[in-house]
Amino acid sequence: MAAGHPAQIARPAAPFAACPMRLEAASVAMGAGLEAPFRIGIGPSSGCAAARWAKRLAPKSPIAIVGLAGGLDPDLAPGDLVVASEVLGPQGAIAMTGAHLISAELRRMGLAAHVGKVLSRPRPVFGRARNQAASQASVVDMETAWALPMLGARPLVVVRAVADTGGAGPLRIAAGTMAALDSLAKASRTLAQWAAACGPGDIVVASPEESTSLVGMATVLALGLGRNLKDEPAFPSGPVHYLAHPTDLRLGWLAGKGSVGIMAEEPTSAEVAELVAWLSWLGRQAVDGTGARGVLANTTEVS
């Protein structure tokens, strides 16, 4: 990772996109009505300080750790975004939920977004150390692994923008940093939607034959089903969104929507399990007496 960049905590009010996005190494971006960026420096101690500050100021808010990183994967270019599926640090690996959902939303905005592992190291890595790190992760930073464990149980996401890919001179690193900052600024809209989509509510899973159990849901996700279902008298009267795949889920559909129903021909399928895991990550809870709890109980690690 390029050294010498001060860091910030971004404290966005709604919309998050209104925040100045002059992020220069690591930031903690929060939804739930907080304010302008706060500069914190770089490195493990800064990550810990940011996490303590965020936890005190917003004990239950969703938090996104965003900022610059060094690219380790040779297929990454300056300005590319990596959404963490796993964060690797001195204390081991931390699995992250929702990476594929967030990256899909970023790609729909035209951004070069990838899902990958983020490696945290206490100092910049160069030469042989960087080559060794490349076998472990897509990007390297200096804060995330120390901040994450301190933030507790809440919706969390990590988005890092590639500022340099190693071996470049100062001018190329400067250009890469500007490309990375531009990508983060554009990604702020997606993070605002993510923060707005977080919140409590029920999850109910049903087959089309059980669609009456979805009456009263704030929104219904119909996975792999034809739109002719809307003509059936037993179908819920609330908003219905049709998904061919779980990554077709749009965060904007969930803003202000508490309870969410999922309808699929195979309620116990892996795709339904993925949706249930993402909705649980966003703050919803599977309801007893429905298929949702059974699906959640059988869900393996989902990113």
113-149 confidence digits (pLDDT tens): 999 999 998 888 777 878 788 878 999 998 889 888 8
**Token pair of 231, please?**
């003509």
Domains in the chain: ranges and CATH: 8-197 (3.40.50.1580), 201-297 (3.40.1010.20)
Q: Is 0.95 topped by the overall pTM?
A: no
Is a pLDDT exceeding 90 seen at residue 200?
A: yes
Task: Average the pLDDT over 209-224 and give the result.
Answer: 88
**Torsion angle in degrees (nearest 10) through CA of 293, 297, 301, 303:** 0
User: Distance of CA 39 to CAs 141, 176, 301, Å?
Assistant: 17, 21, 34
Taking the C-alpha atoms of residue 201 and residue 286, their distance in angstroms, rounded to an integer, is: 9
Write the pLDDT tens digit of every residue in 220-230.
999 988 665 55
| 226-284 per-position pLDDT tens digit | 665 555 545 555 688 999 999 999 999 999 888 999 999 888 899 999 999 999 999 99
Q: Which two tokens stand for residue 144?
A: 């995330």
Q: What is the pLDDT of residues 64-80, one digit of tens each?
A: 888 889 888 989 999 99
Please give the Cα distance from 19 to 212 (Å, whole number): 43
User: pLDDT, tens digit, for every residue of 37-52?
Assistant: 455 568 888 888 878 8
- Reply yes or no: is the peptide bond before residue 15 cis, omega within 30 of 0: yes
